[in-house]
Structure 1
């Protein structure tokens, strides 16, 4: 969603370049306008433009303001269309207060009516603009800027992260509730941002702010307090991400780079956690017996993470533990029964997904144990849940999740084995074989990357009317994920189905212009092959995703995207890599905005 960046330094210049770097580093969150405000001795000087950051840079090239302090923003429209006027920062009537905001002010209609009645004039359609005007009211009544900021925040309903500067002080005031905000520490210079990659070029020392924290930042100092003004101490952590990890590294797109990073990401996910020789699971914070009191497991997640959760539930069900996966947005409003023996697992790459956080909070309030499976140490999910399991995938910038899906699935496979052993008192018969297959995944993924024919297949079917993806059992979620990737970056119509459901309605859509991509794992292949024959009988071309050992499959397929032979429970990770590459090349051939698909954002922080 929207991205916030602030820079606070003691020098008289430098803010503009560093704010622009931060804005560019936040592009992956999705945006339709950008702007910044610089304090350069007088009131905040505001520059903002609808469209790409390059348009903002063009304006600044003609008149670059000096100043060591400023705030910036990339906007993803919620209230009002993308226009110059609706872009952030927003100011009050006097121009002395400038604010950037991520989230939604739910009571802005009420506040706006009140302010208009008091004579305030508004220049935008946004909910954000009420904030600087509320601050203006408080300042006019004699409050100092910090008090005015605190009183204003108290009046807001909804979720938000807010940063503010005024003409009166060389200070940035900021707070968060339900939207992410982190503080970067670089000696006497400081940064505030929606996500760590925004300032990773300048520092890797980070303070993760909790909901309700109010931070006051000035050169050489910062302090964090509760909404009531009570001082709190937040640990400075060093993130293990290198700035180059968040760059393209010579690839044309972040997505392609991150697809190719999967062997390394999977090695990090697996490192020290499983021993194929003995069949032991060694999750660092979950020794044997950690889940002995669990009766059932519920996964909550959204989008790609939901598909990973479906795989996780299958792992557990196969291990004898009742498990289901729920869309977090539905769980938050129609929660199934839970009790103290229910484990609710939130699967969220960023750890900041609003729907997933809401579902986890509801589960926790109902007495369930909660566990976050996330990529971000210090994220809201990691801090609010009872426990956290980190997938260790490294930074992912492309909006379309790739390496994080693979790392989530592998993490959930390890977690599932740990939980199943604790609950049932034994290990599955083929545990060693499954762990061996997991350990071979990095090398197998590399083989796919080296020898894939995905671009040729994408070229062959680039003019199709629609694309269907089918799978059975543990790879039904892979079919769903393959369709999601294809549609979100190619903008072509794609649907995923359980293979057996093809004949229960979707077959009506199958024509010679609708290729069917079928995932085979070596388990129940004959049934999936029957579904393939049904599609071919209607003239549809079929692309199989299968190993070379599955010769019967190749006989019936028009094309084969080959994966190395492996355990059926692990084959889905490999099949997914081929489908990621297929989606990427299809989008590239169509000249789509692969890293920033239209209307989408990397981290969805509103419900």
Structure 2
């Protein structure tokens, strides 16, 4: 889950983007960045860690740009480095850039094909494939380039593109992840959540899956990615406050998380299932080692342990292997019986859990 914010209008946008990212930081805090369209090209500021680092890096930037993108990242593909921080570029980083939330499932095939055509990649991310796809299709019309790129993608994602040759234009698209348009007076916003711009405008429109979104200071238009057919969406006035917007209109965060479970599961497994087949190269085990497993141990604390109890039912049903959920803080004080045919999985709760980490260290020590 990542956060996206875009702006076109008459105001200098650096502060608007940073303020929007601050309200979207709950969606990802591994790294963050902004892209600002300047007369000489697109200028970037990126930083690792929480948003304060980006603010410090962007402080000396005296930009007066009124056209830009921002992104806060929760890393899925690629480590937490400045090179992997969005906005991401094509081969010519001064002309084209994108920000993306979600997962591009067929990025491996796309990258191979683009590299064969001579495209050079500068990050480890799946999202960079989108910027190069747009670059491949671009022949002077950014909207058509985005539409053509969208139709080659598989997965669940929202993305927004900016191009130096098109001042005051942002083009986005969405499929199974959120994207909302903020409608202002002579200015427009595009974001993952309305909280990013709620203090600037409460008038919003919600694109559908498969929509391409085109925003300019004068307004917004939509077309279906599959065939270019124009579509329209009603403008809605939100009565949420900041907390209500962060909760997506749900009464409580718990209720929001319950209804977001399908999206959370899809994001978790989406990159690991391709055309009905599992892709487990990141597991660190060979096919033979997986086939030779005879037992699975799940280690966690708190509510993460309860997740492991539920996972036991799923894993035993599908893998047909015995599964033992255990409390990590207790497990480390025993002399656990594990061997080369035992897979030990640690499940963290709200980030790193010390007892779970210690349990995983013990498991590695025992082989």
Name the counterpart of 2:265. Answer: 355
5 Å-filtered alignment, 1:423-572, equals 483-484=302-303
**Structure 2 matches for 1:149-298, cutoff 5 A?**
149-170=146-167, 171-227=169-225, 228-243=227-242
Equivalent residue for 1:65? 63
Distance (Å, rounded) in 2 between the aligned partners of 1:145 and 1:510: 57
Q: Is the 8 A contact 1:90 1:99 kept in 2?
A: yes
TM-score (ref. length: structure 2): 0.70
- 1:60 offset after TM fit, Å? 1.1
The answer for the alignment partner of 1:367 in structure 2 is none
Show structure 2 runs of 5+ residues with no match.
269-298, 311-323, 334-348, 354-367
- Structure 2: distance between partners of 1:239 and 1:62: 35
1:401-446 CA-partner distances (Å, limit 9, x unpaired) = xxxxxxxxxxxxxxxxxxxxxxxxxxxxxxxxxxxxxxxxxxxxxx
Asked whether the 8 Å contact 1:32–1:77 carries over to 2, the reply is: yes
Shift of 1:357: 11
CA shift, 1:37, in A, is 0.4
C-alpha change, 1:176 and 1:242, in structure 2 (3 Å) is: same
1:505–1:356: structure 2 CA closer, same or farther, 3 Å change rule?
closer
Deviations 1:468-523 (A, max 9, x none): 8xxxxxxxxxxxxxx32xx6xxxxx889989xxxxx9979x979x9xxxxxxxxxx
**Larger strand percent:** 2
Give the alignment partner of residue 81 of structure 1, picking from 79, 83, 103: 79
For 2:215 and 2:352, how far apart are their aligned partners in 1? 33
Partner residue of 1:6?
6
Could you tell me whether the CA contact under 8 Å between 1:6 and 1:192 is conserved in 2?
yes
Q: CA deviation at 1:599?
A: 7.2
CA positional deviation for 1:598: 2.9
Contact 2:205 2:236 in 1 (8 A): yes
Hey, which bits of structure 1, 4+ residues long, moved more than 6 A? 493-498, 504-507
Find the aligned partners of 2:157 and 2:325 in 1 and give their Cα distance: 43
Match of residue 289 from structure 2: none
Shift of the 64–598 alpha-carbon distance from structure 1 to 2, 3 Å rule, reads farther
Cα distance between partner residues in 1 of 2:37 and 2:31: 21
Secondary structure, counterpart of 1:44 in structure 2: strand
Cα deviation 1:347-372 (Å, max 9, x = unaligned): 51x587253899xxxxxxxxxxxxxx
Supply the distance in 2 between the matched residues of 1:32 and 1:225 (Cα, whole angstroms). Answer: 33
Structure 1 residues 151 and 506, CA gap change in structure 2 (3 angstroms)? closer
Question: What is the alpha-carbon distance in structure 1 between the residues aligned to residue 145 and residue 31 of structure 2?
Answer: 28
Q: Which residue of 2 is the match for residue 144 of structure 1?
A: 141
Which protein has the larger Cα radius of gyration, Structure 1 or Structure 2? 1
Q: Could you tell me which residue of structure 2 aligns to residue 49 of structure 1? A: 47
Aligned length: 290
Give the Cα separation in 2 of the matches to 1:63 and 1:357: 35
Instruction: Give me the whole-angstrom Cα distance separating, in 1, the residues matched to 2:245 and 2:199.
Output: 9
Matched, 1:126 2:125: yes
2:34 counterpart SS class: strand
Alignment CA distance shift 1:352-1:161 (3 Å): farther
For the Cα contact (< 8 Å) 2:102–2:267, is it kept in 1?
A: no
Alignment CA distance shift 1:154-1:234 (3 Å): same
**8 Å Cα contact 1:38-1:46 kept in structure 2:** yes
Hey, what's the Cα distance between the residues in 2 that align with 1:82 and 1:152?
A: 26
Root-mean-square deviation over aligned CA pairs: 3.7
Equivalent-residue separation in structure 1 for 2:31 and 2:325 (angstroms):
42
How far does residue 143 in structure 1 lie from its aligned partner after superposition? 4.5
Change (3 A) 1:2 1:71: same
Contact kept, 8 Å, 2:27 with 2:73, in 1: the verdict is no
Q: Which has the higher helix share?
A: 1
* CA distance 1:467–1:76, shift in 2 (3 Å): closer
Structure 1 position 597, deviation (Å): 4.1
